Structure 1
Amino acid sequence: MVEHRMVDTGGVRLHIAEQGTGPLVVLLHGFPESWHSWQRQFGPLAEAGFRVVAPDQRGYGRSDHPEAVDAYTIFHLVGDVVGLIRALGEERAYVVGHDWGAPVAWHTALLRPDLVLGVAGLSVPPPFRGAQPPLIAMQERFGGRFYWNYFNRPGVADAEFARDTRTALRKFFYWASGDAPDAGEDRQPLVDPERGWVSAMPDPGVLPEWFGEDDLDALTESFSQGFTGALNWYRNLDRNWELTAPWHGAVVTSPALYIYGDRDLVPAFPGTPELIEKLPALMPGLRRAPLKLPGCGHWTQQERPDEVNAALIEFFRTCP
């Protein structure tokens, strides 16, 4: 049974869900999600002999929501994971992340490999620092229409998502899923700044089988404090680029696994397909070639739980 409690990480208090005993597995969600996005992983991983813990990350759900924008840098987010591992009484852990949780997982392995038994990223591949700040790069490439730039307009996306949270989440999850008819590898998430993003997304009416009304209810409730904390992660993209300058050219050396869907828009971001192709040569700890799931959209572990669970368990068992 999944149990819930609050944990003081030394920087913030995080709400966590946990189940099982054994080596620790930390599951890190993305945007706009919560611990609940891992609900289909708890039972199988716990039954396989692991202690599974999924927090609401900083700025999400019942966890603390610092007010300052610069309280959401990659150093703060990695610090939360490090503090969580220690607060749980463990010395090392497997760290798994999806969407925004993936960069946190990858950077935890990059910055604190001594704490990481193995690292897995879903949707978002390992971080390789680019030649210029990401917000500036996307501003130049797409004329300010890339969704990262839209999210960086103070208060704008916050208000759009909060206007009707349940509808916004329903539309967003369907739009980025493998069930959407226009999902594919050549799609870029561009936004008309005047029209907004969610307002331009189709409303599915009927939810996909893997994302029911109960899931939508739980997710909606987790955003009762609004979206600003979650969006502040995006507002630190260029700041993170500056802060990680000392690691330019560094690679993740921990045992690693990367999983993504062939209908996910993130692996189609500019330069990402080329990076994925080169990963086996770039990452010495990669345990297998990137696992590409057919028909799967952005919500990897929710759309394809059986394949993800099997791959994670197999991966954990190959790590020292």
Structure 2
Amino acid sequence: MQDQGARTEAGKLNTQDITRQTVTTAHGVSLSALVAGREGDPLLVLVHGWPDLALGWRGQMQPLAAAGYRVCAIDVRGYGDSDRPEPVEAYAMTELMQDVVGVIDALGAEDAVLVGHDWGAPIVWHTALFHPERVRAVAGLSVPYFPRAGLPPLALWHRYYTEKDLFFYQVYFQEEGLAEAAFEADVAASLGKVLWSISGAAVEAGASWPQLPAGASMLEHLSLPSDEQRPVWMSGTDFARRVESFERTGFCGSLNRYRNIDRDYHDWPDYGVHRVRQPSAFIAGALDAVRRFSPGHDVYATADALLDDCRGVTVIDGAGHWVQLEAPEAVNRALLDFLDGL
């Protein structure tokens, strides 16, 4: 049932149009979104990761709308033109799940198919777990659903990395203001380095994220692609829009997501025993660094371990972390095959 306090500023849409809208949830959170498809079609919500925006899904939106879905790609809170609350705890997973449910309400749907990439993947996995009646099916890109570990995330990362004098970006992001200052000094270079360093093209060029000592300054050790190396998806209008957006908003809101990982762990002491019951799928690039998050273990080999109705695990050769940007046609085929089976 649609919450009567929720609303969306929108008119009628043609299937192939992509329009910018502001969606306001019943809890008063305003989220900027790209929307395509006909009102009344089944809803599909796309949730991006870090450091991305709703526009990172533009290569998927029209094919998904043409397949008969009303497609809504949100700027997650803290990004773009969406609300950017100041408190760190405003970026806890409970808040982000509530935003997704609020979007479903605001667009007048009983439920939705959810698709998330990078941080968007944990957001949609957990929305499926904690709001199962609102999630018809769920797909994660790049980040599988992980069970709850025996230690809080930061303790785990310290054990795997810091105690071995190795850098890990999620540890680096914990100190408020440190990463913000580094990334905001030159937003175009910062985004370029992050996007390039964990792409499949960088891995194949031998220019991927280097192993750094603990305490290193992240951006100083990452490289930019040469003009010849720069992929199409890192060029042109969409990249310029990313730069403009982060120059305007800064990185604080987006980095606050990382500062909630231990809070999330303690908020849900038993969530690791839960399994995703809905129809599900996992899609990733074969060269994604996330694959080796747990040293010595290929996390993609067990991507379906806690998915009771997994309809497919698709690992795309040659692609890295930005799989929907690097290999849009392959991702679209995998998503459409998944949707066709629902």
Task: Tell whether the 8 Å contact from 1:106 to 1:127 is kept in structure 2 after alignment.
Answer: no
1:260-295 Cα deviation digits (max 9, x unpaired):
11110012111694543234453211012x211000
Does 1:234 find its partner at 2:234? no
Runs of 4+ off more than 6 Å: none
Corresponding residue for residue 202 of structure 1: 223
User: In the TM superposition, what are the counterparts of 1:287-298 in structure 2 within 5 Å?
Assistant: 287-288=311-312, 290-298=313-321
1:137 to 156, 159, 162: 156
- Are residues 188 and 200 of structure 1, via their aligned partners in 2, closer, same or farther at CA, if it must alter by over 3 Å? closer
Cα distance in 1 for partners of 2:210, 2:98 equals: 30
Task: Tell whether the 8 Å contact from 1:188 to 1:269 is kept in structure 2 after alignment.
Answer: no
Number of paired residues? 316
Corresponding residue for residue 128 of structure 2: 109
- Are residues 248 and 255 of structure 1, via their aligned partners in 2, closer, same or farther at CA, if it must alter by over 3 Å? same
Task: Tell whether the 8 Å contact from 1:107 to 1:127 is kept in structure 2 after alignment.
Answer: no
Cα distance in 2 for partners of 1:192, 1:158 equals: 20
- Which SS does the other structure have where 2:234 is aligned? coil
- Which SS does the other structure have where 1:241 is aligned? helix
Does 1:165 find its partner at 2:187? yes
Corresponding residue for residue 178 of structure 1: 200
Cα distance in 2 for partners of 1:62, 1:96 equals: 21
- Which SS does the other structure have where 1:287 is aligned? strand
Task: Tell whether the 8 Å contact from 1:30 to 1:100 is kept in structure 2 after alignment.
Answer: yes
1:28-62 Cα deviation digits (max 9, x unpaired):
00000000100101111111111110010010000
Corresponding residue for residue 219 of structure 1: 242
Q: TM-score, normalised by structure 1?
A: 0.94
Corresponding residue for residue 282 of structure 2: 258
Give the letter aligned to residue 319 of structure 2.
C
Task: Tell whether the 8 Å contact from 2:209 to 2:222 is kept in structure 1 after alignment.
Answer: no
Give the letter aligned to residue 178 of structure 2.
V
- Are residues 242 and 191 of structure 1, via their aligned partners in 2, closer, same or farther at CA, if it must alter by over 3 Å? farther
- Which SS does the other structure have where 1:36 is aligned? helix
Does 1:8 find its partner at 2:31? no
User: In the TM superposition, what are the counterparts of 1:60-79 in structure 2 within 5 Å?
Assistant: 60-79=79-98
Computed over aligned residues only, the root mean square deviation of the Cα atoms, in angstroms, reads 1.8
Cα distance in 1 for partners of 2:291, 2:26 equals: 34
- Are residues 6 and 163 of structure 1, via their aligned partners in 2, closer, same or farther at CA, if it must alter by over 3 Å? same
TM-fit CA distance, 1:195: 4.4
Cα distance in 2 for partners of 1:278, 1:174 equals: 27
Cα distance in 2 for partners of 1:113, 1:183 equals: 42
- Which SS does the other structure have where 1:297 is aligned? coil
Does 1:148 find its partner at 2:170? yes
Corresponding residue for residue 283 of structure 1: 307
Q: Which has the higher contact order (CA 8 A, sep 6+)?
A: 1
Q: TM-score, normalised by structure 2?
A: 0.88
Corresponding residue for residue 60 of structure 2: 41
Task: Tell whether the 8 Å contact from 1:183 to 1:264 is kept in structure 2 after alignment.
Answer: no
Calculate percent identity across the aligned residue pairs.
40
1:49-79 Cα deviation digits (max 9, x unpaired):
1111001001000000010001111100100
TM-fit CA distance, 1:310: 1.2
1:109-128 Cα deviation digits (max 9, x unpaired):
11111111110000000131
TM-fit CA distance, 1:90: 0.6
- What runs of 5+ residues in structure 2 fail to find an aligned partner? 1-16
Cα distance in 2 for partners of 1:277, 1:201 equals: 28
Cα distance in 2 for partners of 1:63, 1:310 equals: 30
- Are residues 107 and 188 of structure 1, via their aligned partners in 2, closer, same or farther at CA, if it must alter by over 3 Å? farther
Corresponding residue for residue 139 of structure 2: 120
1:199-228 Cα deviation digits (max 9, x unpaired):
211111322123213221011122111000
